[in-house]
Amino acid sequence: MMSAACPDLRLTGATVLRDGEMQSRSVAIEDGCISKGPLPEVDLTGYLVMPGMIDLHGDAFERHIAPRPQAPFAIETGLRATDRDAAANGVTTAWLAQSWSWEGGRRDPAYAEEFLCAVEGYRPRMATDLRVQIRCETHTVETADRLLAAVQRHGIDYVVFNNHLEDVLEMAVVRPERLRLWAEEAGRSSEEHLALVRAAQKQARTVPRYLCRLAEAFDDLGVTYGSHDDPDAETRETFAMIGAKVCEFPLARSAAKLAKAVNDPVIMGAPNVVRGRSQNGNVSAIDLIETGQCDALVSDYYYPALAQAALKLAESGVLSLPEAWNLVSRNPAEILRLPDRGCIDYGKRADLAVIDPATGAVEATLVAGRITHLAGEAARRFVAGASALPMAAE
């Protein structure tokens, strides 16, 4: 993270999420953390001050790097745009979901290694706390040493397993045009892509040992790991048994139910909540939230959906606003073991999102007390109250 001297200040007049309730109280910021005492004031009357959002899975960065499949730009350019996109939507910590797969192209291990190096190089200039989640395809047995080396070299703290082989085979029959576009993005024909699928399938007998080896190494390294797109309870149970506790985007209610039965966290996509329906007929996030089977929401492919989902859940009465906001702040912090953020409390990092309740717009974002986004009337208030505040620089 970029370092800069942070002026001490107090946000006054706003409604603040604190101690599990919406309260009319001030928020003091000192040395980048939540503090006490009289400090120069910024009047935010009429606004909500919420904990900064923690996004455990987002792939919007892919769109910033390659706005068209065949028109990629420099990775650093995409990271800079992603950084600003996240900040403009109240996100203060975000995991970028980078694939590690047999698929090739921007999902190939070689590209993943290049991406990890680019993130490391960009880190001194980050406004948002950007990290990388590795999405590891299960049938990549021959890359075990390479993957573990990358995890250690770059300090990766979050990995999820997924297996999309059957999806590709189904796509070849049901939606061949989509398969063609997918293959073209990786620089090959549909036939060549299917040949890779069949080659990957031949690893089936060695996949269990591969996953167990990775799980043991992740335990030693302190890496949180889970599974992605579990189609049923049996699949989720298998991953839970090897220690892959996080259940990310379960496709069926049975998978989520199994996860909750063994106290594993369930993560769903915020866009699913905003749009009010699931894609492809899978279990919906709202259904799981209503039954207490969803612990956190993630941006998936669209950063604005995080705040929108929390506000929608509160407005519709599904949850109170504090409960809904926990899905994008406190709970993700607990899942990824980040005790210094996720809520507004003394000594915690001053990661904050300032929201206009009339529009739902994020008008200010602070990361460790530094302004990473500022717009609208909130910008005028900050300038009027504390003209010396540092801005996130390139």
Strands 9-12, 27-30: pairing kind = antiparallel
Q: Is 5 helix (H, G, I), strand (E, B) or coil?
A: coil
Q: Which residues contact 217 (CB under 8 A, 6 or more apart)?
A: 148, 151, 223
Is 44 a member of any domain? yes
Assess whether 241 and 303 both reside in one domain: yes
The predicted structure's pLDDT at residue 280 = 66
Contact 54/337 with Cβ under 8 angstroms? Answer: no
Q: Enter the tokens of residue 324.
A: 């809904």
87-128: pLDDT as tens digits: 999 999 999 999 999 888 899 999 999 999 999 999 999 999
Question: How far apart are the C-alpha atoms of 106 and 129, rounded to whole Å?
Answer: 23
Do 40 and 116 share a structural domain? no
The length of the chain in residues reads 394
Are the C-beta atoms of residues 42 and 386 closer than 8 Å to each other? yes
Query: Per-residue pLDDT tens for 2-30?
Result: 434 457 999 999 999 999 999 999 999 99
pLDDT at 72: 87
The verdict on residue 152 lying in a domain is: yes
* Mean pLDDT value of segment 327-346: 98
pLDDT at residue number 198: 85
Ranges 92-101, 191-200, 203-212: which has the least confidence: 191-200
Q: Is 347 left (phi over 0), alpha (psi -120 to 50) or beta?
A: left
Helices (H), 90-129: 109-122
**For residue 18, how many C-alpha atoms fall within 13 Å in the half-sphere facing its CB?**
18
Judgement on whether residues 34 and 89 belong to the same structural domain of the protein: no
**CB-CB contact of 260 with 193 (8 Å):** no
- Which residues fall within 8 angstroms of residue 131, CB to CB, at 6 or more apart? 93, 94, 95, 96, 157, 158
- What region, left, alpha or beta, does residue 107 occupy, with left being phi > 0 and alpha being psi -120 to 50 degrees? alpha
The answer to whether position 2 is within a domain reads: no
The residue range of the domain holding 30 is 13-50+344-348+357-385
| Lowest-confidence region among 160-174, 257-271, 282-296 | 160-174
Q: Pick the residue with more confidence: 330 or 182? A: 330
Provide mean pLDDT across the span 385-392: 54
Mean pLDDT of 367-394: 79
Provide mean pLDDT across the span 188-206.
85
pLDDT tier at 248, thresholds 50, 70, 90: very high
* Separation CA 84–CA 246 (nearest Å): 28
Mean pLDDT (whole number) for 78-86: 98
The residue that leads in pLDDT, 69 or 150, is 150
In a domain, 272, yes or no: yes
Give the residue ranges of DSSP H helices in 66-108. Answer: 75-88
Residue 364, amino acid: A
322 neighbors 20 (Cβ within 8 angstroms): yes
Confidence of residue 392 (pLDDT cuts 50, 70, 90): very low
Query: 136 and 261, same structural domain?
Result: yes
Same domain, 89 and 233: yes
CA angle 193, 197, 199 (to 5 degrees): 115
CATH number assigned to the domain comprising residue 221 = 3.20.20.140
- Tokens encoding 150: 């990358």
6 occurs within a structural domain: no
The reply to whether 62 and 184 lie within a common domain is yes
In a domain, 248, yes or no: yes
Same domain, 107 and 81: yes
Considering only 85-99, 174-188, 288-302, which range has the smallest mean pLDDT? 174-188
CB 233 within 8 A of CB 214: no
Average pLDDT, rounded, for the chain: 92
Judgement on whether residues 32 and 63 belong to the same structural domain of the protein: no
Determine, yes or no, domain membership for 390: no
What share of the chain in percent tops pLDDT 70?
A: 95
Residue 170: its pLDDT value, please? 76
Relative to beta strand 370-374, strand 361-367 is: antiparallel
Confirm whether 393 is domain-assigned.
Answer: no
On whether both 105 and 242 belong to a single domain, the answer is yes
pLDDT score for 1: 47
At residue 388, does pLDDT exceed 50? no
pLDDT value at residue 193: 78
For residue 2, what pLDDT is reported?
Answer: 46
Judgement on whether residues 363 and 313 belong to the same structural domain of the protein: no
Listing DSSP states for 184-242 in one string gives: HHTTS-HHHHHHHHHHHHTTGGGHHHHHHHHHHHHHHHT-EEEEES--SHHHHHHHHHT
Region 231-257: what's the mean pLDDT? 97
What is the number of structural domains in the chain? 2
State mean pLDDT over 254-258.
97
From the CB of residue 238, how many other CB atoms can be counted at a distance below 10 Å? 14
194 and 317: one domain?
yes
8-state DSSP, 152: H
* Same-domain status, 164 and 21: no
Q: What is the mean pLDDT of the segment spanning 205-215?
A: 97
